[in-house]
Amino acid sequence: MNRRDFLALSGAFGAGIMLPVKWANAQSRAKSLRVLSEGAPNSFDSFSVGVNRNAIQITWNVYDRLVRFAYKDRGDGTAYYDYFDIEPELAESYEFSDDRKSLTFRLRKDAVFHDGTPVTAEDVKWSLDRVVASPIGLAQFKTGSMTDPEQFVIVDEHTLRIDLPQPDRFALPNLALTYPIIVNSKLAMQHATEADPWASEWLKNNTAAGGAYKIARANIGERILYERFDDWKSGPLPAFEQVLWQTVPAPESRVAALVKGDADIAQDLPPKDVIELLNNDQVKVVGVPTSTFQFIGMNNQLAPFDDLKVRQAIAYALPYEAMFQAALFGRGEPLFGGTPGAPESTKFPQPLGYSTDLEKAKQLMAESSHPDGFDTTFSFELSVATVAEPVALLLQEALGEIGIRVAINKVPAGQLGTLLQEKKIPFYFEGSTSYLADPDYFFRIFYYGDTRWNFGAYQNPEFISLVEKTRYETDQDVYDADVKRMIELVKEEIPIILLWHPSLDTGMLTSIENYSYTFHRQLDYRPLTRS
């Protein structure tokens, strides 16, 4: 395909974003997919400094990993990644040693990269070495006890072994995440320099891949055209021969193109547009509660939020349902309500047992060290104002009923993270995501340590000992009991107030089938079909 055909295929960025006749032709359209999204990728790499989340939509479809999370039906016809079912991808098979301290992968012997070069264990080792050579990659791989290149051992041309210092249940799922893409090392090393031995600068703007799709054309920030790699061996060949991904910042333009049938899929839909599309027979909206969680943060080390009764009073005062409807139009999975006390399961996040009860909130404030109330500031970042501002306004009104006088602070985009790292704000709205689904992993990231991710600056000694104890626990009954105790503690002491898992809402033509949600919230082109 030449540049003229590519630009014609892309269409214009007008209000209707009309497609040319060539794209709209039924015969060519059947094997082609057009995707519109709000944001654009800023890299072809998965973990170099500054890479944004949209870049994952490239690397997930263009590169292979050794293994992947399987998909399962979540009960409504939508496929959802199954964290506890990890299947081979580039690896043909894998197995643990009897002592669970090594993990052996046997590669597909017929796998090749996009340039036709055979994939070998040397490429896999180089790719994993590259992960631990990066501070970003190393920080994630440490959670699976993978820190040293010497742990990645070439057994033969198509076999690689990973040695672990101790059994670690997080080692395998780490290999299914976004970072450990398998790179064509021979191609990448042609562009390495003394200052950049891993060719990271080159890989930001180029691919050295062997996944289901390859990049045919790319205008970063505007459009990317993928072509199916017909020699892909790591799964069923995708149905679509071409995928055109365009950046269309205005949500009304994405919605208009979808309704007209000019686009097949529209990503990043605001809740108000979702409500309108749900009444349109020409399209469908797939809404999946994400692994992202949004919450009210309180610095437990700063007064007045160091007072347990103050935190509990706030938790009982919040108008959860009103906030849920105002911020998300009800598009998500609530994490408010539930049963107080001992948990029934080890799943976390889960509802913490707090529902709106102003009388109880007033009673707790009267018993607290601030019976006459206090003044405070509630902060949120402007980049999430669509959701955060209605939450803040409703919170301000509700807490005024119990004597807490709230001033709202709108933080410029990109600055909240620094303030959280420095523990400079006492009370705020924020959200985050946990890639790994084990409850002790969640607690270790978000309720433990001195990092910005310990959003409540929670420092309960019993909780700390339990987090450290469960890290390598192999007895399931002991593990479950310890996790339930940790859940009981955070329900009682409420370091942060969980609100909900927001839905990822994706609009698509009714003819598009087999949409599959995965943990990084980007689109997996490979399972998609057109009826």
338-377 pLDDT per residue, tens = 999 999 899 999 999 999 999 999 999 999 999 999 999 9
Q: What's the average model confidence in pLDDT over 275-285? A: 90
Q: What's the average model confidence in pLDDT over 39-60? A: 87
Q: Is the pLDDT of residue 59 over 90?
A: yes
424-478 pLDDT per residue, tens = 899 999 999 888 889 999 999 999 998 889 999 999 999 999 999 998 888 999 9
Please report which confidence band the pLDDT of residue 5 belongs to, taking 50, 70 and 90 as the band edges.
very low
CB contact at 8 A, 209 and 89: no
CA–CA separation, 142 and 272 (whole Å): 41
pTM of the model: 0.84
Nearest alpha carbon to residue 340 among 494, 497, 493, 491: 491
The domain 292-503: what is its CATH number?
Answer: 3.10.105.10
Q: Is the pLDDT of residue 152 over 60?
A: yes
Q: Is the pLDDT of residue 96 over 50?
A: yes
Q: What is the pLDDT of residue 454?
A: 95
Please report which confidence band the pLDDT of residue 6 belongs to, taking 50, 70 and 90 as the band edges.
very low
Q: What's the average model confidence in pLDDT over 204-233? A: 95
Q: Which residues partner with 334 through β-bridges?
A: 500
CA–CA separation, 258 and 264 (whole Å): 6
314-337 pLDDT per residue, tens = 999 999 999 999 999 999 999 999
CB contact at 8 A, 463 and 489: yes
**To the nearest whole percent, how much of the chain has pLDDT over 90?**
79
Cα atoms found within 13 Å of the Cα of residue 144, Cβ hemisphere only? 27
CA–CA separation, 28 and 26 (whole Å): 6
Q: Is the pLDDT of residue 29 over 80?
A: no
- CA dihedral (463, 469, 470, 475) in degrees, to 10, reads -130
124-142 pLDDT per residue, tens = 999 999 999 998 899 899 9
Preceding amide of 349 cis, omega within 30: yes
The domain 64-205: what is its CATH number?
Answer: 3.90.76.10
Q: What is the pLDDT of residue 47?
A: 80
* Average pLDDT of the chain, as a whole number: 92
Nearest alpha carbon to residue 381 among 410, 423, 419: 410
Q: Is the pLDDT of residue 26 over 80?
A: no
CB contact at 8 A, 43 and 133: no
Q: Is the pLDDT of residue 525 over 60?
A: yes
Neighbouring C-beta atoms of residue 15, cutoff 10 Å: 11
393-412 pLDDT per residue, tens = 999 999 999 999 999 999 98
Q: What is the pLDDT of residue 28?
A: 64
306-316 pLDDT per residue, tens = 999 999 999 99
Please report which confidence band the pLDDT of residue 51 belongs to, taking 50, 70 and 90 as the band edges.
confident
Q: What is the pLDDT of residue 209?
A: 98
The mean-pLDDT minimum among 26-35, 70-79, 278-287, 342-351 falls in 26-35
Q: For domain 1-62+211-282+510-531, which architecture applies?
A: 3-Layer(aba) Sandwich (3.40)
Q: Which helix (H) or strand (E) holds 71?
A: strand 67-73
- Which tokens belong to 239? 């149905």
Q: Which helix (H) or strand (E) holds 483?
A: helix 476-493
Q: What's the average model confidence in pLDDT over 273-287? A: 90
Q: Which helix (H) or strand (E) holds 419?
A: helix 416-421
Q: What is the pLDDT of residue 496?
A: 98
Q: Which residues partner with 516 through β-bridges?
A: 79
CA–CA separation, 221 and 39 (whole Å): 8
Could you state, in order of their start, the residue ranges of all structural domains in the chain? 1-62+211-282+510-531, 64-205, 292-503
Q: What is the pLDDT of residue 244?
A: 97
Neighbouring C-beta atoms of residue 26, cutoff 10 Å: 6
Parallel, antiparallel or unpaired: strands 159-163 and 102-107 = antiparallel
